[in-house]
Amino acid sequence: MMRLLVVGRLSGQLATAVKMAMTHGAKVSHVERADQATEQLRRGQGADLLMVDYRIDIASLIAANEAERIHVPVVACGVDADAKEAADAIRAGAKEFIPLPPDAELIAAVLSAVADDEKPMILADPAMRAVVQLADQVAASEASILITGESGVGKEVMARHLHTRSRRADKAFISVNCAAIPDNLLESELFGHEKGAFTGAVARRIGKFEEADGGTLLLDEISEMDVRLQAKLLRAIQERVIDRVGGSKPVPVNIRIIATSNRDLAKAVAEGSFREDLLYRLNVVNLRIPSLRERPADIGVLASHFIKKYAAANGVPVKPIAAPAIRAITGHPWHGNVRELENAMHRAVLLSAGAEIDIDAIRLPDGRPLLGGAAPAATATAYDPGVAGTAAQMADAVTRSFVGQTVAEMEKTLILDTLNHCLGNRTHAANILGISIRTLRNKLNEYADDGTAIPAPQSGVANAYGSAG
């Protein structure tokens, strides 16, 4: 369940936004002042997102949290804020701006972008059924579980599935993305710290291990964790105690650990970047989720699910997907897996003009039509040959321009170009790129630290967010 902490006076419009968030499954708590927000986060009354009145000093709130190694994203909101005030809130560190009076679709989109935990397990393929059957067999145990698979296959969805079928289902499910949190913050995020443990630690802070006590702790992308922290994690798993940073005595914890990785951890062990003893402790049971290419029978049912989801989110009728389009998407490789398919179906819902969702409405992230699979000859004639030839030449030219660049340079170019295309809207850019908004923010922070200018949301920020789901 999404945990939302609202900071500011509950005016009528903000109260309405809170009710909308609760309707979408958020657990909401409220404080009026910034210092109260930091104090609540210290005590372990955790939040996945802060929704802050733009008139509060957002920069100071974020600085106070970061001084105590508290890592929670912020969205700003407010009544009658103009474009400059919205942009100022973003520059102060807010990830998004929500104009009030609130729009239900926008509230849902922002909550979904920050913590999309409402993804049900959708499957039809025998390969995936076998994995779920194994998951159901071990869900009620206390064994640590390692979920592996390519990026976008649904590892966190599987982790939540395990939790809901465990004996801890009525307790907390806490997720920590080890790749999204800087190393210097991750230790406090996980284990907490005592007053005076470092400059800025003005009070005790409860970490995620203690927040998850009695429940389940998901360590997402654990392969990105620093080796020093791996040793501390190993002790926590073995002895069921943790040490807060600066603490003098161990703190007992009762949690079940689930970890995910899209890397080959055995290879990481051989390279010296991952502890072998920790791998053995985590990998009591391994659930390898097949790529979407390995479970083609899931593609159609997932596509139908996403079409219904985004038709409802955008207030448009649900359309069936045409048979040629089904054949095309079933034959497409989907290197971004379920996440890429979801984004493609979202675009298809918006682009479809006929009674059915046909192949011409299904586009790749760069806008090109999806021409893979068994598309019929009639589909090809829907495009002018001259335009297709020109597009092919342009694509070839772009490909040649990438030769000689590193993968990191290509990735940076793609991310910044997409952000510019989206007028600085982080949520929309992440959707197009097929990555989580947390990953996008992490990349942008890296680029900013290197001195790269990052596009800020343009003056149409309020309108741009209306289609950011």
Out of 92, 114, 136, pick the residue that ends a domain. Answer: 114
Alpha-carbon gap, residue 321 to 73, rounded angstroms: 37
| Residue 417 belongs to a domain | no
Query: Which residues sit opposite 229 in a β-bridge?
Result: none
How many residues are recorded in the chain? 469
Alpha-carbon gap, residue 264 to 72, rounded angstroms: 29
**What are the helix (H) ranges across 139-289?**
155-164, 183-191, 208-211, 227-239, 265-271, 276-282
Counted domains in the chain: 3
Of 40-44, 257-261, 317-321, 371-375, least confident by mean pLDDT is 371-375
**What are the helix (H) ranges across 315-376?**
323-331, 337-351
Shared domain check, 299 and 260: no
Shared domain check, 130 and 104: no
Decide if pLDDT at 341 tops 90.
yes
Shared domain check, 268 and 301: no
pLDDT of residue 89: 87
pLDDT tens per residue, range 123-155:
899 999 999 999 999 999 999 999 999 999 999
Shared domain check, 271 and 173: yes
Write 269-275 long-range contacts (CB < 8 A, 24+). Answer: 273/223, 273/227, 274/223, 274/227, 274/230, 275/227, 275/230, 275/231, 275/234
The DSSP symbol for 457 reads P
| Residue 326 belongs to a domain | yes
The DSSP symbol for 45 reads -
Q: Which residues neighbour 274 within 8 Å (Cβ) at sequence distance 6 or greater?
A: 223, 227, 230, 265, 268
Shared domain check, 303 and 192: no
Write 340-344 long-range contacts (CB < 8 A, 24+). Answer: 340/152, 340/365, 340/434, 341/292, 341/299, 341/302, 341/303, 341/306, 342/302, 342/306, 343/431, 343/432, 343/434, 344/370
Return the number of other C-beta atoms located less than 10 Å from residue 228's C-beta: 10
pLDDT of residue 458: 59
Shared domain check, 94 and 161: no
Q: Which residue has the tokens 């470092």?
A: 198
State which amino acid sits at residue 87: A
Alpha-carbon gap, residue 255 to 210, rounded angstroms: 9
Out of 401, 427, 445, pick the residue that ends a domain. Answer: 401
Per-residue pLDDT band for 28 (boundaries 50, 70, 90) equals confident
Domain that holds residue 163: 126-289
Burial string for 118-129 (b: 16+ CB within 10 Å, else e) reads ebeebbebeebe
Q: Which residue has the higher pLDDT, 38 or 46?
A: 38
CATH of the domain at 10: 3.40.50.2300
Give the N- to C-terminal CA distance of the chain in Å, as an integer: 18
Shared domain check, 137 and 233: yes
CATH of the domain at 342: 1.10.8.60
Under 8 Å between Cβ of 292 and 298: yes
Q: Which residue has the higher pLDDT, 369 or 112?
A: 369
pLDDT of residue 120: 75
